[in-house]
Amino acid sequence: MDLYFDNYVPEMTGPELKQLLRPVFDFDAKSALEAYLETVSPQVKEAIKNHHVLVGMNRDMVIFAKGRPPRKVRETANEVEYEEWIYGTPPEDVDFVRFVGDEVVRVETMKVDGQRIVRVEKEVDLGASTVARKQEERPANAPTLRRPGEEMPDTNPANRSTIPPVAPPQPTGPGSDPGPNWAKIIEPLSD
């Protein structure tokens, strides 16, 4: 983008320059953080603004509050896999934020004076985000790949054993010989 002036560049203030550029740039657009803060509860909004992590937050909230972690550690304790994000380095305070799945389950802070603060009680509840709940939240006219009147199957498509087998399509029309019926030709093996 270039801004041209005839013969000389006039003296102008910042707001005057913004006014000249307004047809091209939207100076009123919200940042990603501002837009995200409108979607969370007031408690979470305040924590993010103060760069504070609450037990119960998800990964996105922690990233908006503290940024991407400089160090991550993955471990298993009591057969539960967790990931710990580590913020800070001595001699400053160090925060250890532990995730199980997408939820913060523990926040441990090691202070400069040696004090250790551990929080495990849930401080914010985001509610269970399940597929069924998301289906209920969809508007009635949401786009779908199902045919009119077709219902959602009760089976899990990832589990092939619960899906009934589908017969292959049979060719039709002139000159379309389906070939031999292999089900009749191949007999099951018997002992």
The answer to whether position 77 is within a domain reads yes
Is the pTM for the entire model greater than 0.85? no
Whole-angstrom distance, CA of residue 87 vs CA of residue 109: 9
pLDDT in tens, 63-87: 999 999 999 999 998 888 999 999 9
The answer to whether position 6 is within a domain reads no
pLDDT in tens, 148-172: 777 766 655 555 555 555 555 666 6
Structure tokens at 176: 């379309």
Burial grade of 139 (CB within 10 A; 0-12, 13-18, 19 or more): exposed
106, 110, 114, 117: CA torsion to nearest 10: -30
Give 84's contacts (C-beta < 8 A, 6+ positions apart).
Answer: 72, 73, 74, 75, 96, 97, 98, 99
Pairing of strands 94-100, 80-87: antiparallel
CATH number at residue 57: 3.30.1450
Structure confidence at residue 102 (pLDDT): 92
Q: How many domains does the chain have?
A: 1
Burial grade of 48 (CB within 10 A; 0-12, 13-18, 19 or more): buried
Which residues are bridge partners to 119 per DSSP? 107
The answer to whether position 177 is within a domain reads no
The answer to whether position 103 is within a domain reads yes
Structure confidence at residue 115 (pLDDT): 92
Q: Which residues in the chain show pLDDT less than 70?
A: 128-142, 152-191
The answer to whether position 85 is within a domain reads yes
Structure tokens at 65: 């509050």
Supply the DSSP string of 134-157, one letter for each residue.
Answer: HHHHS-TT---SSPTTPPPPSS-T
Structure confidence at residue 18 (pLDDT): 86
Domain that holds residue 78: 14-119
Structure confidence at residue 136 (pLDDT): 54
Q: In what order do the strands lie in the sheet with 80-87?
A: 71-77, 80-87, 94-100, 103-110, 116-119
